[in-house]
């Protein structure tokens, strides 16, 4: 901390505080522990709801944060209008009930339609809802932060060992275990609870035994949302109500649920306490730790305990993400010619459109490659990644380092940049492929967040959140037309390469590990090595896309490897159709074009985009390309009637109208062994 | 135009293809504007109203050189990559004469770098980072709002007058918070070598665990606290601090807290006696500000926020640059902007030729509660010119060449 006479900047404060100054008394530790418990209780309320919903319905409820936020907004309105003791506490409870009702409505109107869609597809629907809610709350309640009243009777502080502890904190500390106990009684002492636990363990069996799943799911969803709404409503005496509340909690809550073990409410409670206490004491030693702490904890826990603290090993997956009843085939000669024509037509774009359209098209090409790389991992490998942006972002940073630090020409940077993504994929992939299902996804998320926080915090190297500027293309590629051709060429080559891999022996081995881990290992496929290789391949192509992206935008920021980027990738894949070979490309084109156009046209881009996503989800539960393939298959079936029976058989099986109940919930079992 | 578009999109979703080809009448100058409208409406809505008022006034007086100013405004969704896309659209497709706007520092920097690459004039409105005019400054970029350094200098001057010797800091963990703390510490330590820095807390932006942070600060027993948190984090921090007695008998110096955007939500929980920078629109009695306030309230039936001042000042500055240049060519705009004088509600300001920073200042005062609302009292305007390093010193901070 030398005192510089002249202003020099950028200035960052890196010297830590003098920790000896702090009075580290017993009293302080007790009070800090209580503070941590109060935070844990807030976190647990929301997390428990998410855990219950996921445990039973397997919905990755992205909208959970949105309901938390709605709970806070509704509670604000109610407590603002009805004052006094009953006004306040009644308002809190009513707000949670209102939000639960909205949640139940959402489940009935939207989610029920898509339980039969491939796993994770519900994530897309809830993502669309989240986008809409973010704009809706601003339209209804206005853009400014709202500060609700303090809780009547719990305004002040209590003196504990000479230090003031807010009464409301003590209330939360008591409430957390009460809710935990209440849930325990509900699950262990009621028939409904028994059914919920049974469904958490084995949905198919519960369905087979004749339990009405429809209402079981609705009631579970409503309970989960009630808890989210309650968690939000209880925040108003200590927090501000803003339209950013959902984002500030959703990821953290997911992490807590996963650390605790999916479907385990007690696990969620323990995880909430663990995370909150580590944060409360961690900031004393490392004041900057909060930004990454939960992800570090999750990574450590998952590496040691692959199913979370109290989670149990899941049975072999019955419905892998990429299961397709229609066998994949390489393209026919005609299809290849059509694709070639499409690419050539795309190559002619610079002759018919302007510069702006070309930069947009280049961006779409970059994202098509990024989405295709994620799609390869998710569909062919059956490994859904929630943190794929890490390799995209690392590729972008790699290109930026090569350009600004080592003065590489653009081509050199484009070649070397992705290596950083590859290195990240090799390192993180090694840990991730030890896990499966949502745990795999969450570990990828944890690593992505760790990579993000390094980019964010390591100011000397990465420029921190102010990023790296001046990563512009070389003069020969600086015209929008040339850069578009470059992006198009790289993207097409990448997508073709990924397709070739799908139908290579490696691709078949990978699909084998996806469809049955046990059988593939029995025939001598080294599952973890094959999946690791797939992880690295996906990371490589994401890194290439990232390097292109850096030159397209001229600058690199931590945003490039942040969660929204990973979510964008997921949305593109799901929108295109997870059961298809190359649906992600179409998903990327549709999503990115829509997003860019809407942001340019309206401030309400999130509302409109969210609504469109919800509509698409309902209209095309197999994704856009999946829907088109079904349509084609059906037409072919009709055309082939009376033709070779051998050819019609697989096509018939895929027809969604077959009514055979071939839904994931009661899907034919892939594995007899459990 | 935006409202019309917004409505049509909201109601007809995809049906309506934008009416972008606005009349390209000859008597027009197109200005491209980008800001985080959907991500930060609390700040950008008043900002938009501010620039709309300015444009209306300018055009009512016949525009610039007889040409009307037309603003084409774009949202950046709070992401630098989207901002670059928007800038591209404005420059390549709309053919704007210059671009302006942005709120977040990193978005401001991304657009500034775009302006440098494409050789377009850029008037940054709100980003606070010192880098945009100094270490990453470029020929094409100018900035209106008083920078991080300037606000820190104003507050450090007041802080030096306090008897407190043991200081602790709390700031959001990103560039803005980090550089605010660093400049403040440096300037205060220079003025008062007897000061000790006993603790620093760095909660993540938007995710403060306020109870734990307040308790940690309490344990270091500071005599004074520097706060840089704002928005929802500030609300949480103030609530926890009030309940836990953190602010009792302690001085607090706080960045931006006096701005209506951040002060108003606190209502009667506003802590008293904090030394803050901000905008006490209710107490400013200058003819320039009176005129602005009257016009703003008449047009929008609402009181202005600091964002309104920034939006208004930005378009006034753009108009002044265009008038002085007498052209829309980038070179001439850049030359004209150096040393251009602009009339704002805070008085006359100048854009310095060396670092392209305007001398717009800020009000420094103390927080108080009046009729159940948070207000600033004893406010004094601090002219930005007095809180900037000299032009010679600044020259060395900017990239040469």
Domain extents in chain B: 2-146+286-361, 149-279+362-387
Considering only alpha carbons, which residue of chain A is nearest residue B109? Answer: A466
- Answer whether residue A416 shows pLDDT above 90: yes
Residues A181-205 have a mean pLDDT of: 89
What is the band of A207 on the pLDDT scale with cuts at 50, 70, 90? confident
Confidence of residue A235 (pLDDT cuts 50, 70, 90): very high
The answer to whether the Cβ–Cβ distance between B75 and A602 falls below 8 Å is yes
- Give A-chain residues touching B32 at CB under 8 angstroms: none
Residue in B89, B219, B261 closest to A22 by CB: B219
Task: Please count the other Cβ atoms lying within 10 Å of the Cβ belonging to residue A311.
Answer: 22
- Among the listed ranges A11-25, A277-291, A392-406, A482-496, which one has the minimum average pLDDT value? A11-25
Q: How confident is the model at residue A314 (pLDDT cuts 50, 70, 90)?
A: low
Instruction: Say if residues A46 and A35 touch (Cβ distance below 8 Å).
Output: no
**SS3 state of residue A70:** helix
Q: Which of A11-20, A444-453, B333-342 has the lowest mean pLDDT?
A: A11-20
Q: Which fold has domain A28-304?
A: ABC transporter involved in vitamin B12 uptake, BtuC (1.10.3470)
Tokens of A112: 């029920």
Residues of B in contact with A42 (CB under 8 A): none
- Which of the 8 DSSP states describes residue A21? G
- Collapsing DSSP states into helix, strand and coil, what is residue B240? helix
Domain ranges of chain A: 28-304, 360-597, 605-641+650-655
pLDDT band at B1 (very low <50, low <70, confident <90, very high): very low
Q: Measured between CB atoms, does B23 come within 8 Å of chain A?
A: no
Closest residue in A to B14 (Cα) is A608
pLDDT digits over B256-311, tens only?
999 999 999 999 999 999 999 999 999 999 999 999 999 999 999 999 999 999 99
Pairing of strands B98-101, B122-124: parallel
Q: Do A356 and B92 touch (CB under 8 A)?
A: yes
A398–chain B nearest CA distance, Å: 17
Q: How far apart are CA A471 and CA A475, in angstroms?
A: 12
Matching fold, domains B2-146+286-361 and B149-279+362-387: yes
Interface of B with A in 322-351 (CB under 8 A): none
CATH, domain range B149-279+362-387: 3.40.50.2300
The neighbouring-strand residues paired with B32 are B72, B99
Q: What pLDDT sits at residue A22?
A: 56
When the candidates are 3.40.50.2300, 1.10.620.20, 3.30.40.10, 3.40.50.300, the CATH number that belongs to B2-146+286-361 is: 3.40.50.2300
Is residue B202 within 8 angstroms of chain A, CB to CB? yes
Q: Kindly report, residue by residue over A125-155, the tens digit of the pLDDT.
A: 998 999 999 999 999 999 989 999 999 888 8
Is A596 in contact with B6 (Cβ distance < 8 A)? no
Q: Does B77 touch chain A (CB under 8 A)?
A: yes
B228 vs A625, higher pLDDT: B228
Contact A79, A87 (CB under 8 A): yes
Q: Rounded to the nearest 5 degrees, what angle is found at the Cα of A602, between the Cα atoms of A600 and A606?
A: 100
Looking at residue A644, its pLDDT comes to 45
Percent of chain A with pLDDT over 70: 89
Please tell me the predicted confidence (pLDDT) of residue A263.
Answer: 80
Q: Find chain A residues with C-beta within 8 A of B174's C-beta.
A: 456, 464-465
Average pLDDT over residues A89-94: 95
Contacts of B396 in chain A (CB under 8 A): 6
pLDDT (0 to 100) of residue A49: 94
Radius of gyration of chain A (CA): 26
Which band of pLDDT confidence, cut at 50, 70 and 90, is reported for residue A442? confident
Pairing state between β A163-166 and A157-160: antiparallel
Query: Would an 8 Å CB–CB cutoff place B6 in contact with chain A?
Result: yes
Q: Report pLDDT digits (tens) over B91-143.
A: 999 999 999 999 999 999 999 999 999 999 999 999 999 999 999 999 999 99
- Write down the ipTM of this complex: 0.86
Q: What is the DSSP letter of A656?
A: G
Q: Which residues pair with B377 in a beta bridge?
A: B366
Mean pLDDT to the nearest integer, B358-372: 96
Query: Closest Cα to residue A169, out of A113, A226, A237, A228?
Result: A237
Under 8 Å between Cβ of A605 and B39: no
* Average pLDDT score, chain A: 86
């Amino acid at each position: 901390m030398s005192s510089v006479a002249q202003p020099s900047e950028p200035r960052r404060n890196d010297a830590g505080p003098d920790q000896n100054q702090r009075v580290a008394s017993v009293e302080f530790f007790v009070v800090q522990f209580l503070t941590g418990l109060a935070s844990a209780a807030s976190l647990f309320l929301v997390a428990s709801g998410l855990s219950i919903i996921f445990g039973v319905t397997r919905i990755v409820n992205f909208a959970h944060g949105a309901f938390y936020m709605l709970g806070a907004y509704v509670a604000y309105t109610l407590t603002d209008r009805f004052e006094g003791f009953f006004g306040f506490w009644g308002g809190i409870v009513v707000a949670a009930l209102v939000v639960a009702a909205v949640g139940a409505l959402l489940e009935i109107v939207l989610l029920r339609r898509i339980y039969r869609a491939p796993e994770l597809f519900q994530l897309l629907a809830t993502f669309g809802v989240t986008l809409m809610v973010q704009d809706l709350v601003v339209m209804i309640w206005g853009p400014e932060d709202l500060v609700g009243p303090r809780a009547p009777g719990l305004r002040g502080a209590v003196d504990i060992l000479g230090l003031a502890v807010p009464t409301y904190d003590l209330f939360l500390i008591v409430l957390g275990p009460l809710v935990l106990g209440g849930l325990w009684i509900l699950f262990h002492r009621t028939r409904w609870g028994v059914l919920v636990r049974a469904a958490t363990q084995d949905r198919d069996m519960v369905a087979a035994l004749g339990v009405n799943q429809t209402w079981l799911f609705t009631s579970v969803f409503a309970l989960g949302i009630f808890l989210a709404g309650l968690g939000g409503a209880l925040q108003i005496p200590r927090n501000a109500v803003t339209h950013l509340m959902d984002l500030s909690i959703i990821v953290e809550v997911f992490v807590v649920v996963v650390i605790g073990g999916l479907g385990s409410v007690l696990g969620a409670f323990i995880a909430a306490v663990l995370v909150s206490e580590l944060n409360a004491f961690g900031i004393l030693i490392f004041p900057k730790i909060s930004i990454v702490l939960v992800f570090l904890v999750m990574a450590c826990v998952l590496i040691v305990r692959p199913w979370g603290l109290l989670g149990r090993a899941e049975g072999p997956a019955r419905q892998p993400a990429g299961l397709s009843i229609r066998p994949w085939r390489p393209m026919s000669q005609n299809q290849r010619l059509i694709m070639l024509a499409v690419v050539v037509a795309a190559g002619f774009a610079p002759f018919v459109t302007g510069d702006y359209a070309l930069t947009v098209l280049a961006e779409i090409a970059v994202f098509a490659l990024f989405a295709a790389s994620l799609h390869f991992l998710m569909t062919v490998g059956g490994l859904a990644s929630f943190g794929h942006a890490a390799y995209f972002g690392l590729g972008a940073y790699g290109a930026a380092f090569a350009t600004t630090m080592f003065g590489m020409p653009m081509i050199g940077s484009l070649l070397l940049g992705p290596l950083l993504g590859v290195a990240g994929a090799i390192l993180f992939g090694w840990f991730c492929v030890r896990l499966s299902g949502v745990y795999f996804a969450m570990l990828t998320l944890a690593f992505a967040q760790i990579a993000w926080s390094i980019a964010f915090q390591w100011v000397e190297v990465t420029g921190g959140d102010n990023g790296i500027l001046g990563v512009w293309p070389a003069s020969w590629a600086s015209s929008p037309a040339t850069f578009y051709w470059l992006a198009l060429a790289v993207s097409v080559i990448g997508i073709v390469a990924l397709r070739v891999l799908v139908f290579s022996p490696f691709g078949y081995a990978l699909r084998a590990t996806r469809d049955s881990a046990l059988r593939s290992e029995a025939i001598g496929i080294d599952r973890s090595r094959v999946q690791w290789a797939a992880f690295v391949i996906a990371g490589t192509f994401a890194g290439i896309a990232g390097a292109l992206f850096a030159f397209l935008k001229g600058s690199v920021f931590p945003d490039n490897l942040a969660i929204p980027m990973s979510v964008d990738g997921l949305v593109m894949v799901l929108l295109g159709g997870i059961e298809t070979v190359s649906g992600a490309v179409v998903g990327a084109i549709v999503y990115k074009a829509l997003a860019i156009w809407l942001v340019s046209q309206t401030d309400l881009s999130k509302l409109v985009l969210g609504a469109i996503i919800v509509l698409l989800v309902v209209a095309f539960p197999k994704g856009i390309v999946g829907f088109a393939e079904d349509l084609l298959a059906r037409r072919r079936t009709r055309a082939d009637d009376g033709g070779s029976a051998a050819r019609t058989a697989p096509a018939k099986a895929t027809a969604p109208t077959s009514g055979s109940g071939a839904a994931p919930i009661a899907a034919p079992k892939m594995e007899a062994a459990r | 135009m935006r409202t019309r578009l917004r409505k049509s999109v909201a109601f007809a979703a995809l049906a309506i293809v934008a009416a972008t080809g606005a009349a390209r009448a000859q008597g027009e100058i197109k200005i491209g504007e980008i800001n985080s409208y959907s991500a930060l409406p609390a700040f950008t809505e008043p900002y938009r109203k501010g620039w709309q008022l300015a444009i209306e006034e300018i055009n009512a007086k016949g525009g610039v050189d007889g040409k009307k100013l037309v603003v084409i405004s774009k949202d950046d969704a709070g992401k630098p990559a989207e901002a670059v896309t928007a800038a591209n659209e404005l420059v390549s497709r709309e053919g704007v004469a210059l671009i302006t706007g942005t709120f977040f520092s990193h978005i401001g920097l991304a657009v500034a770098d775009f302006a440098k690459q494409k050789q377009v004039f850029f008037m940054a409105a709100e980003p606070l980072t010192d880098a945009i005019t100094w270490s990453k400054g470029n020929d094409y970029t100018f900035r209106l709002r008083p920078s991080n350094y300037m606000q820190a200098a104003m507050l450090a001057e007041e802080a030096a007058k306090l008897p407190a010797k043991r200081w602790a800091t709390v700031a959001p963990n990103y560039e803005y918070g980090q550089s605010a703390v660093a400049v403040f510490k440096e300037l205060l330590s220079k003025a008062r070598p007897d000061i000790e820095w006993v603790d620093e807390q760095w909660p993540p932006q938007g995710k403060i665990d306020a109870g734990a942070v307040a308790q940690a600060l309490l344990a270091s027993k500071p005599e004074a606290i520097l706060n840089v948190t704002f928005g929802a984090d500030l609300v949480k921090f103030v609530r926890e601090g009030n309940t836990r007695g953190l602010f009792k008998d302690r001085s607090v110096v706080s960045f931006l807290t006096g701005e209506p955007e951040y002060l108003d939500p606190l209502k009667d929980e506003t802590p008293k006696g904090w030394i803050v920078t901000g905008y006490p629109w209710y107490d400013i009695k200058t003819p320039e500000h009176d005129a602005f306030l009257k016009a703003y309230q008449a047009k929008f039936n609402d009181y202005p926020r600091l964002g309104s001042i920034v939006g208004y000042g930005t378009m006034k500055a753009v108009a002044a640059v265009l008038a002085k240049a007498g052209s829309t060519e980038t070179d001439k705009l850049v030359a004209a902007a150096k040393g251009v004088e602009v009339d704002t509600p805070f008085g006359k300001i100048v854009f310095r030729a060396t670092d392209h920073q305007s001398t717009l200042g800020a009000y420094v005062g103390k927080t108080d509660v009046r009729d159940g609302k948070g207000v600033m009292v004893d406010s004094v305007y601090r002219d930005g010119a007095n809180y900037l390093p000299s032009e010679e010193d600044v020259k060395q901070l900017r990239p040469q060449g």
